[in-house]
Structure 1
Amino acid sequence: MTEIIRSLADLTGRYDAVFCDLWGCLHNGKAAFPAAVAALQGFRATGGRVVLMTNAPRPKSSIVKQLDGLGVPRDAWDIVVTSGDAAQMGMLSGAVGRRVHHIGAPKDEPFFTDFAEDLAAYAATQPPITRVPLREAEGIVCTGLRDDLTETPDDYRAALLLGKTLELPMLCANPDIVVDMGDKRLYCAGALAQEYEQMGGTTLYFGKPHPPIYDLARRRLAEAGAPADPQILCIGDGISTDIQGGIGEGLDTLFITGGLEAERFGADVENPDQSRLDAWLDSKELSPTFAMGRLR
Protein backbone atom coordinates (compact mmCIF):
# COMPACT_ATOMS: atom_id res chain seq x y z
CA MET A 1 0.00 0.00 0.00
CA THR A 2 1.19 3.50 -0.83
CA GLU A 3 2.30 5.37 2.31
CA ILE A 4 1.03 8.92 2.69
CA ILE A 5 3.72 11.19 4.12
CA ARG A 6 3.54 14.73 5.47
CA SER A 7 6.67 16.23 3.94
CA LEU A 8 9.77 15.43 1.94
CA ALA A 9 11.75 15.87 5.14
CA ASP A 10 10.12 12.64 6.40
CA LEU A 11 12.46 10.82 3.99
CA THR A 12 15.68 12.57 5.05
CA GLY A 13 18.72 10.36 4.60
CA ARG A 14 17.03 7.75 2.42
CA TYR A 15 17.82 9.18 -1.02
CA ASP A 16 20.86 10.64 -2.74
CA ALA A 17 18.83 12.41 -5.41
CA VAL A 18 15.30 13.24 -6.50
CA PHE A 19 13.98 13.40 -10.05
CA CYS A 20 11.31 16.07 -9.52
CA ASP A 21 8.61 17.07 -11.98
CA LEU A 22 7.96 20.79 -12.50
CA TRP A 23 4.45 21.64 -13.67
CA GLY A 24 1.99 20.73 -10.92
CA CYS A 25 4.71 20.05 -8.36
CA LEU A 26 7.03 23.06 -8.30
CA HIS A 27 4.87 25.60 -10.18
CA ASN A 28 1.58 25.96 -12.06
CA GLY A 29 2.90 27.81 -15.09
CA LYS A 30 2.24 31.18 -13.48
CA ALA A 31 3.95 31.07 -10.08
CA ALA A 32 6.26 28.88 -8.05
CA PHE A 33 4.89 27.01 -5.02
CA PRO A 34 6.81 28.33 -1.97
CA ALA A 35 6.39 25.13 0.05
CA ALA A 36 7.77 23.02 -2.80
CA VAL A 37 10.73 25.36 -3.22
CA ALA A 38 11.47 25.10 0.50
CA ALA A 39 11.20 21.30 0.38
CA LEU A 40 13.78 21.03 -2.39
CA GLN A 41 16.07 23.55 -0.68
CA GLY A 42 15.82 21.46 2.48
CA PHE A 43 16.65 18.27 0.59
CA ARG A 44 19.76 19.89 -0.89
CA ALA A 45 20.76 21.22 2.53
CA THR A 46 21.04 17.61 3.75
CA GLY A 47 23.37 16.70 0.87
CA GLY A 48 20.81 15.49 -1.67
CA ARG A 49 20.87 16.46 -5.33
CA VAL A 50 17.78 17.78 -7.09
CA VAL A 51 17.27 16.91 -10.74
CA LEU A 52 14.34 18.84 -12.19
CA MET A 53 12.89 16.51 -14.82
CA THR A 54 10.22 17.89 -17.09
CA ASN A 55 8.35 16.76 -20.18
CA ALA A 56 8.60 20.29 -21.57
CA PRO A 57 9.61 20.07 -25.25
CA ARG A 58 12.09 22.93 -24.96
CA PRO A 59 15.82 22.64 -24.16
CA LYS A 60 17.27 23.07 -20.69
CA SER A 61 18.23 26.73 -21.14
CA SER A 62 14.62 27.71 -21.91
CA ILE A 63 13.38 25.97 -18.77
CA VAL A 64 16.03 27.61 -16.58
CA LYS A 65 14.93 30.99 -17.93
CA GLN A 66 11.30 30.12 -17.20
CA LEU A 67 12.13 29.01 -13.65
CA ASP A 68 13.99 32.26 -13.03
CA GLY A 69 10.94 34.18 -14.24
CA LEU A 70 8.64 32.21 -11.95
CA GLY A 71 10.81 33.00 -8.96
CA VAL A 72 12.33 29.55 -8.41
CA PRO A 73 15.71 30.24 -6.79
CA ARG A 74 18.81 28.56 -8.19
CA ASP A 75 19.57 26.99 -4.80
CA ALA A 76 16.45 24.79 -5.11
CA TRP A 77 17.97 22.58 -7.81
CA ASP A 78 21.18 21.17 -9.24
CA ILE A 79 20.34 19.85 -12.72
CA VAL A 80 17.59 20.35 -15.28
CA VAL A 81 16.68 17.60 -17.75
CA THR A 82 13.90 18.07 -20.29
CA SER A 83 12.00 15.88 -22.70
CA GLY A 84 13.17 18.42 -25.25
CA ASP A 85 16.81 17.57 -24.48
CA ALA A 86 16.19 13.84 -24.94
CA ALA A 87 14.08 14.41 -28.06
CA GLN A 88 16.76 16.67 -29.53
CA MET A 89 19.19 13.78 -29.27
CA GLY A 90 16.70 11.57 -31.09
CA MET A 91 16.18 14.14 -33.82
CA LEU A 92 19.90 14.76 -34.28
CA SER A 93 20.50 11.03 -34.62
CA GLY A 94 18.01 10.93 -37.51
CA ALA A 95 15.25 9.02 -35.72
CA VAL A 96 12.62 10.56 -38.04
CA GLY A 97 14.90 11.53 -40.91
CA ARG A 98 16.72 14.77 -41.62
CA ARG A 99 13.89 16.56 -43.49
CA VAL A 100 11.23 17.11 -40.86
CA HIS A 101 7.88 18.87 -40.59
CA HIS A 102 7.42 20.76 -37.33
CA ILE A 103 4.13 20.92 -35.42
CA GLY A 104 4.49 23.32 -32.53
CA ALA A 105 4.35 26.86 -31.20
CA PRO A 106 6.73 29.76 -31.82
CA LYS A 107 7.87 29.40 -28.19
CA ASP A 108 9.29 25.99 -29.15
CA GLU A 109 11.68 27.38 -31.79
CA PRO A 110 14.72 26.87 -29.50
CA PHE A 111 14.20 23.11 -29.93
CA PHE A 112 15.92 23.41 -33.32
CA THR A 113 18.66 25.87 -32.41
CA ASP A 114 19.51 25.76 -28.71
CA PHE A 115 21.36 22.67 -27.49
CA ALA A 116 22.86 21.89 -24.11
CA GLU A 117 26.65 21.51 -24.14
CA ASP A 118 26.61 17.71 -24.37
CA LEU A 119 24.10 17.80 -27.23
CA ALA A 120 25.79 20.70 -29.03
CA ALA A 121 28.99 18.66 -29.34
CA TYR A 122 27.01 15.80 -30.85
CA ALA A 123 25.06 18.10 -33.19
CA ALA A 124 28.32 19.43 -34.64
CA THR A 125 29.15 15.93 -35.93
CA GLN A 126 25.78 15.30 -37.62
CA PRO A 127 24.25 16.37 -40.95
CA PRO A 128 21.84 19.30 -40.62
CA ILE A 129 18.13 18.99 -39.85
CA THR A 130 15.93 20.83 -42.37
CA ARG A 131 12.33 21.83 -41.74
CA VAL A 132 10.05 21.34 -44.72
CA PRO A 133 6.31 21.21 -45.60
CA LEU A 134 4.50 18.03 -44.61
CA ARG A 135 4.43 16.54 -48.11
CA GLU A 136 8.22 16.92 -48.43
CA ALA A 137 9.08 15.49 -45.01
CA GLU A 138 10.66 12.22 -43.92
CA GLY A 139 9.14 12.58 -40.48
CA ILE A 140 7.25 14.85 -38.08
CA VAL A 141 8.66 16.61 -35.03
CA CYS A 142 5.81 17.50 -32.65
CA THR A 143 6.60 19.85 -29.78
CA GLY A 144 2.97 20.76 -29.07
CA LEU A 145 0.03 22.71 -30.45
CA ARG A 146 0.67 25.96 -32.29
CA ASP A 147 -1.66 27.80 -29.89
CA ASP A 148 -2.44 25.70 -26.83
CA LEU A 149 -4.63 28.44 -25.36
CA THR A 150 -7.25 28.09 -28.11
CA GLU A 151 -6.63 24.85 -30.04
CA THR A 152 -7.46 21.19 -29.40
CA PRO A 153 -6.25 17.99 -31.11
CA ASP A 154 -9.33 18.15 -33.37
CA ASP A 155 -7.75 21.12 -35.13
CA TYR A 156 -4.92 18.84 -36.32
CA ARG A 157 -6.95 15.90 -37.61
CA ALA A 158 -6.43 16.65 -41.31
CA ALA A 159 -2.66 17.14 -40.93
CA LEU A 160 -2.31 13.99 -38.85
CA LEU A 161 -4.30 11.95 -41.36
CA LEU A 162 -2.04 13.19 -44.16
CA GLY A 163 1.07 12.31 -42.15
CA LYS A 164 -0.28 8.84 -41.50
CA THR A 165 -1.11 8.39 -45.21
CA LEU A 166 2.45 9.42 -46.07
CA GLU A 167 3.69 6.90 -43.45
CA LEU A 168 5.72 9.53 -41.62
CA PRO A 169 7.03 8.64 -38.14
CA MET A 170 6.35 11.26 -35.46
CA LEU A 171 8.89 12.31 -32.85
CA CYS A 172 6.92 13.46 -29.79
CA ALA A 173 8.96 15.91 -27.73
CA ASN A 174 6.47 15.98 -24.81
CA PRO A 175 4.49 12.84 -23.88
CA ASP A 176 2.20 14.79 -21.51
CA ILE A 177 -1.45 14.83 -22.60
CA VAL A 178 -2.49 17.92 -20.62
CA VAL A 179 -1.11 20.41 -18.10
CA ASP A 180 -2.83 22.99 -15.91
CA MET A 181 -1.82 26.62 -16.33
CA GLY A 182 -3.38 28.28 -13.33
CA ASP A 183 -7.01 27.15 -13.58
CA LYS A 184 -6.92 26.43 -17.35
CA ARG A 185 -6.19 22.95 -18.74
CA LEU A 186 -4.03 22.90 -21.90
CA TYR A 187 -3.28 20.14 -24.39
CA CYS A 188 0.32 19.04 -24.97
CA ALA A 189 2.20 17.22 -27.73
CA GLY A 190 1.28 13.89 -26.18
CA ALA A 191 -2.37 14.51 -27.06
CA LEU A 192 -1.47 14.85 -30.74
CA ALA A 193 0.80 11.80 -30.58
CA GLN A 194 -2.04 9.81 -29.00
CA GLU A 195 -4.37 10.82 -31.84
CA TYR A 196 -1.71 9.89 -34.39
CA GLU A 197 -1.28 6.44 -32.89
CA GLN A 198 -5.03 5.88 -32.86
CA MET A 199 -5.00 6.61 -36.59
CA GLY A 200 -2.31 3.97 -37.07
CA GLY A 201 0.69 6.30 -37.20
CA THR A 202 4.09 5.53 -35.70
CA THR A 203 5.17 7.67 -32.75
CA LEU A 204 8.52 7.85 -30.92
CA TYR A 205 8.59 9.19 -27.36
CA PHE A 206 11.57 10.57 -25.44
CA GLY A 207 10.10 12.03 -22.23
CA LYS A 208 8.57 10.40 -19.17
CA PRO A 209 7.63 7.55 -18.82
CA HIS A 210 10.03 6.43 -21.55
CA PRO A 211 13.69 5.46 -20.92
CA PRO A 212 15.63 8.14 -22.91
CA ILE A 213 14.96 10.97 -20.46
CA TYR A 214 15.97 8.80 -17.48
CA ASP A 215 19.17 7.73 -19.24
CA LEU A 216 20.03 11.39 -19.86
CA ALA A 217 19.22 12.34 -16.26
CA ARG A 218 21.44 9.59 -14.86
CA ARG A 219 24.29 10.61 -17.13
CA ARG A 220 24.08 14.26 -16.09
CA LEU A 221 23.77 13.26 -12.44
CA ALA A 222 26.94 11.17 -12.71
CA GLU A 223 28.76 14.02 -14.48
CA ALA A 224 27.79 16.28 -11.56
CA GLY A 225 29.64 13.98 -9.14
CA ALA A 226 26.80 11.92 -7.69
CA PRO A 227 27.80 8.64 -6.02
CA ALA A 228 27.80 5.48 -8.08
CA ASP A 229 24.40 3.75 -8.13
CA PRO A 230 22.62 6.57 -6.26
CA GLN A 231 19.33 6.02 -4.46
CA ILE A 232 16.78 8.06 -6.44
CA LEU A 233 13.21 9.13 -5.63
CA CYS A 234 10.94 10.20 -8.51
CA ILE A 235 8.44 12.94 -7.61
CA GLY A 236 5.47 13.90 -9.76
CA ASP A 237 1.74 14.40 -10.18
CA GLY A 238 1.42 12.50 -13.46
CA ILE A 239 0.43 8.91 -12.71
CA SER A 240 1.09 7.71 -16.27
CA THR A 241 4.29 9.74 -16.75
CA ASP A 242 6.14 10.55 -13.52
CA ILE A 243 4.98 7.55 -11.51
CA GLN A 244 4.77 4.92 -14.23
CA GLY A 245 8.14 6.05 -15.54
CA GLY A 246 9.82 5.86 -12.14
CA ILE A 247 8.38 2.43 -11.43
CA GLY A 248 9.48 1.26 -14.87
CA GLU A 249 13.02 2.36 -14.04
CA GLY A 250 12.95 0.42 -10.77
CA LEU A 251 12.97 3.61 -8.68
CA ASP A 252 10.94 4.65 -5.66
CA THR A 253 8.20 7.19 -6.41
CA LEU A 254 6.34 9.98 -4.59
CA PHE A 255 2.92 10.76 -6.07
CA ILE A 256 1.77 14.37 -5.61
CA THR A 257 -2.00 13.94 -5.34
CA GLY A 258 -2.77 17.67 -5.31
CA GLY A 259 -1.75 18.22 -8.95
CA LEU A 260 -3.54 16.89 -12.02
CA GLU A 261 -5.72 14.54 -9.95
CA ALA A 262 -6.43 16.92 -7.06
CA GLU A 263 -10.21 16.47 -7.06
CA ARG A 264 -10.12 12.68 -6.67
CA PHE A 265 -8.93 12.27 -3.09
CA GLY A 266 -11.21 14.32 -0.88
CA ALA A 267 -11.95 17.96 -0.10
CA ASP A 268 -8.63 18.62 1.68
CA VAL A 269 -6.05 18.76 -1.09
CA GLU A 270 -3.20 18.79 1.41
CA ASN A 271 -4.40 15.57 3.05
CA PRO A 272 -5.53 12.93 0.54
CA ASP A 273 -7.97 10.31 1.74
CA GLN A 274 -6.14 6.97 1.99
CA SER A 275 -9.11 4.81 0.96
CA ARG A 276 -9.89 6.92 -2.11
CA LEU A 277 -6.24 6.95 -3.07
CA ASP A 278 -5.86 3.18 -2.70
CA ALA A 279 -8.99 2.48 -4.76
CA TRP A 280 -7.88 4.80 -7.57
CA LEU A 281 -4.36 3.42 -7.65
CA ASP A 282 -5.78 -0.11 -7.78
CA SER A 283 -7.76 0.90 -10.87
CA LYS A 284 -4.53 2.14 -12.45
CA GLU A 285 -2.63 -0.99 -11.40
CA LEU A 286 0.18 1.20 -10.09
CA SER A 287 1.56 1.50 -6.58
CA PRO A 288 3.73 4.54 -5.82
CA THR A 289 6.01 4.12 -2.84
CA PHE A 290 4.73 7.32 -1.21
CA ALA A 291 2.05 9.96 -1.72
CA MET A 292 1.63 13.54 -0.54
CA GLY A 293 -1.01 16.23 -1.11
CA ARG A 294 1.31 18.96 -2.34
CA LEU A 295 5.09 18.91 -2.34
CA ARG A 296 6.33 20.40 0.89
Structure 2
Amino acid sequence: MGTGLKITAFAAALAATFGAAYGVGRGVDPIMERPNGHAAHAEPAGRGGAARDGHAAHGEAVGAAEPPGGLQIAEGGYALDLKTPRLEAGRAAEIRFAVTGRDGRPVTAFKSEHGKELHLVLASDDLAVYRHLHPVRAADGTWSVPAELPEAGGYRVFADFTPDDTKGAEKLVLGADLAVSGTYAPKDLPAPTATVQVEDGYAVSLAGDLTPGRAAELKLSVTKDGRPVTDLEPYLGAYGHLVALRAGDLAYLHVHPNEGGPGPVVSFGATVPSAGTYRLFLDFQHGGKVRTAGFTVAAGGHLAA
Protein backbone atom coordinates (compact mmCIF):
# COMPACT_ATOMS: atom_id res chain seq x y z
CA MET A 1 0.00 0.00 0.00
CA GLY A 2 1.30 3.45 -0.85
CA THR A 3 2.06 6.05 1.82
CA GLY A 4 -0.14 9.12 1.99
CA LEU A 5 -3.26 7.79 0.31
CA LYS A 6 -5.63 10.67 -0.28
CA ILE A 7 -9.35 10.91 -0.25
CA THR A 8 -9.99 11.76 -3.90
CA ALA A 9 -13.59 10.75 -4.52
CA PHE A 10 -15.01 14.01 -3.18
CA ALA A 11 -14.68 15.81 -6.53
CA ALA A 12 -17.56 18.22 -6.16
CA ALA A 13 -17.79 21.07 -3.68
CA LEU A 14 -20.46 21.13 -1.03
CA ALA A 15 -22.47 24.07 -2.34
CA ALA A 16 -25.38 24.15 0.06
CA THR A 17 -26.48 23.04 3.51
CA PHE A 18 -28.32 19.78 3.17
CA GLY A 19 -31.51 18.94 4.99
CA ALA A 20 -34.29 16.40 4.80
CA ALA A 21 -37.92 16.39 5.75
CA TYR A 22 -38.55 13.28 7.78
CA GLY A 23 -41.84 11.81 8.92
CA VAL A 24 -42.24 9.59 11.95
CA GLY A 25 -44.86 6.86 12.13
CA ARG A 26 -45.87 3.57 10.66
CA GLY A 27 -45.73 2.88 6.95
CA VAL A 28 -45.00 0.00 4.65
CA ASP A 29 -42.98 2.15 2.26
CA PRO A 30 -41.38 5.14 4.00
CA ILE A 31 -41.40 8.28 1.87
CA MET A 32 -39.03 11.15 2.43
CA GLU A 33 -37.48 14.06 0.63
CA ARG A 34 -34.08 13.10 -0.69
CA PRO A 35 -31.37 15.74 -0.70
CA ASN A 36 -28.92 16.00 -3.55
CA GLY A 37 -25.64 17.65 -4.22
CA HIS A 38 -26.68 19.78 -7.21
CA ALA A 39 -28.97 22.66 -8.03
CA ALA A 40 -32.29 22.90 -6.23
CA HIS A 41 -34.17 22.34 -9.50
CA ALA A 42 -32.55 18.96 -10.19
CA GLU A 43 -34.91 16.02 -10.50
CA PRO A 44 -34.94 13.87 -7.35
CA ALA A 45 -34.47 10.64 -9.32
CA GLY A 46 -30.77 10.49 -8.42
CA ARG A 47 -28.85 11.92 -5.48
CA GLY A 48 -26.18 13.35 -7.72
CA GLY A 49 -28.59 14.84 -10.21
CA ALA A 50 -28.39 11.84 -12.51
CA ALA A 51 -31.55 10.10 -13.62
CA ARG A 52 -31.81 6.36 -13.04
CA ASP A 53 -31.11 5.58 -16.67
CA GLY A 54 -27.76 7.34 -16.37
CA HIS A 55 -28.75 10.44 -18.36
CA ALA A 56 -28.45 13.96 -17.02
CA ALA A 57 -31.40 15.13 -14.97
CA HIS A 58 -33.24 18.36 -15.70
CA GLY A 59 -31.44 21.29 -14.14
CA GLU A 60 -27.98 19.74 -14.01
CA ALA A 61 -25.36 22.25 -15.08
CA VAL A 62 -23.61 21.46 -18.32
CA GLY A 63 -19.91 20.95 -17.84
CA ALA A 64 -20.22 20.59 -14.05
CA ALA A 65 -17.54 18.73 -12.13
CA GLU A 66 -17.83 14.97 -11.82
CA PRO A 67 -19.99 14.12 -8.80
CA PRO A 68 -18.54 12.28 -5.79
CA GLY A 69 -18.69 8.50 -5.70
CA GLY A 70 -21.98 6.73 -5.14
CA LEU A 71 -24.26 9.54 -6.24
CA GLN A 72 -24.95 7.99 -9.64
CA ILE A 73 -26.49 4.66 -10.54
CA ALA A 74 -24.60 4.60 -13.85
CA GLU A 75 -21.24 5.90 -14.97
CA GLY A 76 -18.69 5.17 -17.67
CA GLY A 77 -20.99 2.74 -19.45
CA TYR A 78 -21.60 0.68 -16.30
CA ALA A 79 -24.77 0.57 -14.21
CA LEU A 80 -25.89 -0.89 -10.89
CA ASP A 81 -28.97 -3.09 -11.31
CA LEU A 82 -30.42 -3.55 -7.81
CA LYS A 83 -32.76 -6.53 -8.03
CA THR A 84 -33.87 -6.22 -4.39
CA PRO A 85 -35.12 -2.63 -4.04
CA ARG A 86 -37.20 -3.27 -0.92
CA LEU A 87 -36.67 -5.11 2.40
CA GLU A 88 -38.48 -5.40 5.73
CA ALA A 89 -36.84 -4.00 8.87
CA GLY A 90 -35.51 -6.63 11.26
CA ARG A 91 -36.06 -9.51 8.87
CA ALA A 92 -33.20 -11.50 7.34
CA ALA A 93 -33.23 -11.41 3.56
CA GLU A 94 -30.95 -11.68 0.56
CA ILE A 95 -29.87 -8.63 -1.41
CA ARG A 96 -29.33 -9.38 -5.09
CA PHE A 97 -27.85 -7.12 -7.77
CA ALA A 98 -25.77 -7.05 -10.91
CA VAL A 99 -23.36 -4.64 -12.54
CA THR A 100 -24.18 -4.24 -16.22
CA GLY A 101 -21.60 -3.22 -18.78
CA ARG A 102 -21.52 -1.19 -21.95
CA ASP A 103 -23.41 -3.94 -23.76
CA GLY A 104 -26.16 -4.02 -21.13
CA ARG A 105 -25.19 -7.48 -19.95
CA PRO A 106 -24.05 -8.41 -16.41
CA VAL A 107 -20.32 -7.99 -15.91
CA THR A 108 -18.47 -11.16 -14.89
CA ALA A 109 -14.85 -9.92 -14.93
CA PHE A 110 -13.58 -7.68 -12.13
CA LYS A 111 -10.17 -6.75 -10.79
CA SER A 112 -9.55 -7.91 -7.24
CA GLU A 113 -8.90 -5.23 -4.64
CA HIS A 114 -7.87 -6.26 -1.13
CA GLY A 115 -8.91 -9.81 -1.79
CA LYS A 116 -12.39 -9.00 -3.14
CA GLU A 117 -13.80 -8.28 -6.60
CA LEU A 118 -16.47 -5.99 -5.18
CA HIS A 119 -17.16 -4.25 -1.88
CA LEU A 120 -20.77 -3.52 -0.95
CA VAL A 121 -21.64 -0.80 1.57
CA LEU A 122 -25.12 -0.04 2.91
CA ALA A 123 -26.01 3.08 4.89
CA SER A 124 -29.28 4.53 6.08
CA ASP A 125 -30.13 8.08 5.05
CA ASP A 126 -29.68 9.29 8.64
CA LEU A 127 -26.31 7.42 8.79
CA ALA A 128 -27.41 5.56 11.91
CA VAL A 129 -27.02 2.16 10.21
CA TYR A 130 -23.89 1.12 8.34
CA ARG A 131 -22.89 -2.22 6.85
CA HIS A 132 -19.77 -3.24 4.91
CA LEU A 133 -20.60 -6.49 3.12
CA HIS A 134 -18.88 -8.84 0.70
CA PRO A 135 -21.35 -10.51 -1.66
CA VAL A 136 -20.79 -13.62 -3.74
CA ARG A 137 -20.97 -13.53 -7.54
CA ALA A 138 -22.69 -16.28 -9.49
CA ALA A 139 -21.49 -17.38 -12.92
CA ASP A 140 -24.18 -15.29 -14.62
CA GLY A 141 -22.91 -12.08 -12.99
CA THR A 142 -25.60 -11.83 -10.29
CA TRP A 143 -24.30 -10.92 -6.84
CA SER A 144 -26.02 -11.90 -3.59
CA VAL A 145 -25.45 -11.35 0.11
CA PRO A 146 -27.56 -11.94 3.23
CA ALA A 147 -28.49 -8.85 5.24
CA GLU A 148 -30.70 -7.85 8.12
CA LEU A 149 -31.31 -4.12 8.51
CA PRO A 150 -32.69 -3.11 11.92
CA GLU A 151 -34.26 0.25 11.09
CA ALA A 152 -36.94 1.28 8.59
CA GLY A 153 -36.36 4.12 6.15
CA GLY A 154 -34.35 4.94 3.08
CA TYR A 155 -30.94 3.39 2.50
CA ARG A 156 -28.19 3.78 -0.06
CA VAL A 157 -26.45 0.74 -1.56
CA PHE A 158 -22.90 1.37 -2.81
CA ALA A 159 -21.03 -1.00 -5.12
CA ASP A 160 -17.27 -0.33 -5.09
CA PHE A 161 -15.44 -2.16 -7.91
CA THR A 162 -13.09 -2.01 -10.90
CA PRO A 163 -14.20 -3.75 -14.12
CA ASP A 164 -11.56 -5.92 -15.78
CA ASP A 165 -12.01 -5.03 -19.42
CA THR A 166 -9.84 -4.29 -22.43
CA LYS A 167 -10.75 -0.60 -22.44
CA GLY A 168 -9.03 0.13 -19.15
CA ALA A 169 -12.08 0.99 -17.04
CA GLU A 170 -11.23 2.79 -13.82
CA LYS A 171 -12.44 2.16 -10.30
CA LEU A 172 -16.12 3.02 -9.86
CA VAL A 173 -18.54 3.51 -6.99
CA LEU A 174 -22.17 3.26 -8.10
CA GLY A 175 -25.17 3.78 -5.82
CA ALA A 176 -28.83 2.80 -5.74
CA ASP A 177 -31.71 3.43 -3.34
CA LEU A 178 -33.10 0.73 -1.08
CA ALA A 179 -36.38 1.08 0.88
CA VAL A 180 -36.77 -0.73 4.21
CA SER A 181 -40.35 -0.96 5.44
CA GLY A 182 -41.47 -0.74 9.05
CA THR A 183 -41.84 1.88 11.77
CA TYR A 184 -39.75 4.84 10.66
CA ALA A 185 -38.02 6.89 13.36
CA PRO A 186 -35.00 8.79 11.97
CA LYS A 187 -32.13 9.63 14.29
CA ASP A 188 -30.01 12.74 14.61
CA LEU A 189 -26.32 12.51 13.80
CA PRO A 190 -24.20 11.82 16.87
CA ALA A 191 -22.30 14.85 18.10
CA PRO A 192 -18.65 15.12 17.06
CA THR A 193 -16.37 13.47 19.61
CA ALA A 194 -12.71 12.44 19.68
CA THR A 195 -13.35 8.99 21.19
CA VAL A 196 -16.12 6.47 20.56
CA GLN A 197 -16.86 3.30 22.52
CA VAL A 198 -17.14 0.05 20.59
CA GLU A 199 -18.47 -3.31 21.76
CA ASP A 200 -16.48 -5.73 23.94
CA GLY A 201 -14.50 -3.02 25.73
CA TYR A 202 -12.92 -1.52 22.62
CA ALA A 203 -12.60 2.22 22.07
CA VAL A 204 -11.23 4.23 19.15
CA SER A 205 -9.85 7.76 19.34
CA LEU A 206 -9.55 10.09 16.37
CA ALA A 207 -6.88 12.78 16.10
CA GLY A 208 -6.27 15.24 13.27
CA ASP A 209 -7.87 18.05 11.31
CA LEU A 210 -9.95 18.10 8.14
CA THR A 211 -9.28 21.37 6.39
CA PRO A 212 -11.01 21.81 3.03
CA GLY A 213 -8.53 21.84 0.17
CA ARG A 214 -5.57 20.66 2.25
CA ALA A 215 -4.10 17.21 2.72
CA ALA A 216 -4.44 16.00 6.30
CA GLU A 217 -3.54 12.92 8.30
CA LEU A 218 -6.18 11.23 10.43
CA LYS A 219 -4.86 8.98 13.19
CA LEU A 220 -7.18 6.42 14.74
CA SER A 221 -5.97 4.72 17.93
CA VAL A 222 -7.53 1.44 19.10
CA THR A 223 -7.65 0.40 22.77
CA LYS A 224 -9.26 -2.48 24.65
CA ASP A 225 -10.18 -2.05 28.31
CA GLY A 226 -8.03 1.07 28.32
CA ARG A 227 -4.90 -0.61 26.95
CA PRO A 228 -3.45 0.04 23.47
CA VAL A 229 -4.08 -2.73 20.95
CA THR A 230 -0.75 -3.51 19.30
CA ASP A 231 -1.74 -6.70 17.50
CA LEU A 232 -4.50 -5.67 15.12
CA GLU A 233 -5.17 -8.40 12.58
CA PRO A 234 -5.10 -7.88 8.82
CA TYR A 235 -8.58 -7.45 7.43
CA LEU A 236 -8.74 -7.78 3.65
CA GLY A 237 -5.02 -7.09 3.48
CA ALA A 238 -4.98 -4.00 5.72
CA TYR A 239 -5.04 -3.13 9.41
CA GLY A 240 -8.02 -0.86 8.92
CA HIS A 241 -10.52 0.30 6.32
CA LEU A 242 -12.16 3.71 6.28
CA VAL A 243 -15.41 4.70 4.58
CA ALA A 244 -16.47 8.34 4.60
CA LEU A 245 -20.05 9.44 3.85
CA ARG A 246 -21.08 13.07 3.58
CA ALA A 247 -24.21 13.91 5.54
CA GLY A 248 -27.11 14.97 3.34
CA ASP A 249 -26.28 13.46 -0.04
CA LEU A 250 -24.26 10.44 1.18
CA ALA A 251 -21.30 11.12 -1.10
CA TYR A 252 -19.05 8.07 -0.69
CA LEU A 253 -15.38 7.35 -0.27
CA HIS A 254 -13.57 4.09 0.56
CA VAL A 255 -9.88 4.47 1.45
CA HIS A 256 -7.19 2.37 3.10
CA PRO A 257 -4.52 3.30 5.62
CA ASN A 258 -1.01 4.59 5.19
CA GLU A 259 1.72 2.01 5.67
CA GLY A 260 2.25 1.13 9.30
CA GLY A 261 2.27 -1.56 11.92
CA PRO A 262 -0.55 -3.53 13.59
CA GLY A 263 -1.64 -0.81 15.93
CA PRO A 264 -2.54 0.83 18.08
CA VAL A 265 -2.58 3.66 15.51
CA VAL A 266 -3.94 3.35 11.98
CA SER A 267 -3.50 6.49 9.86
CA PHE A 268 -5.18 7.76 6.70
CA GLY A 269 -4.38 10.58 4.31
CA ALA A 270 -7.44 12.74 3.70
CA THR A 271 -8.22 15.70 1.46
CA VAL A 272 -11.72 17.18 1.30
CA PRO A 273 -12.51 20.14 -0.96
CA SER A 274 -15.11 21.92 1.14
CA ALA A 275 -16.68 22.33 4.54
CA GLY A 276 -19.42 19.93 5.57
CA THR A 277 -20.39 17.20 8.00
CA TYR A 278 -19.18 13.64 7.42
CA ARG A 279 -19.51 10.26 9.07
CA LEU A 280 -16.32 8.20 9.15
CA PHE A 281 -16.62 4.44 9.66
CA LEU A 282 -13.49 2.52 10.62
CA ASP A 283 -13.50 -1.28 10.25
CA PHE A 284 -10.77 -3.10 12.18
CA GLN A 285 -10.19 -6.72 13.18
CA HIS A 286 -8.96 -8.08 16.49
CA GLY A 287 -9.51 -11.42 18.18
CA GLY A 288 -10.89 -12.85 14.96
CA LYS A 289 -13.80 -10.38 14.79
CA VAL A 290 -14.38 -7.27 12.68
CA ARG A 291 -15.68 -4.24 14.58
CA THR A 292 -16.75 -0.79 13.41
CA ALA A 293 -16.23 2.63 14.99
CA GLY A 294 -18.24 5.59 13.67
CA PHE A 295 -17.28 9.27 13.99
CA THR A 296 -19.08 12.50 13.14
CA VAL A 297 -16.63 15.03 11.73
CA ALA A 298 -17.18 18.66 10.77
CA ALA A 299 -14.70 19.38 7.98
CA GLY A 300 -12.95 22.64 8.71
CA GLY A 301 -13.01 22.11 12.47
CA HIS A 302 -10.47 20.69 14.92
CA LEU A 303 -11.04 17.02 15.75
CA ALA A 304 -8.73 16.28 18.63
CA ALA A 305 -5.46 17.29 20.19
TM-score with structure 1 setting the length: 0.28
Q: Of Structure 1 and Structure 2, which has the larger fraction of its residues in helix?
A: 1
More strand by share: 2
Tell me the TM-score normalized by structure 2: 0.27
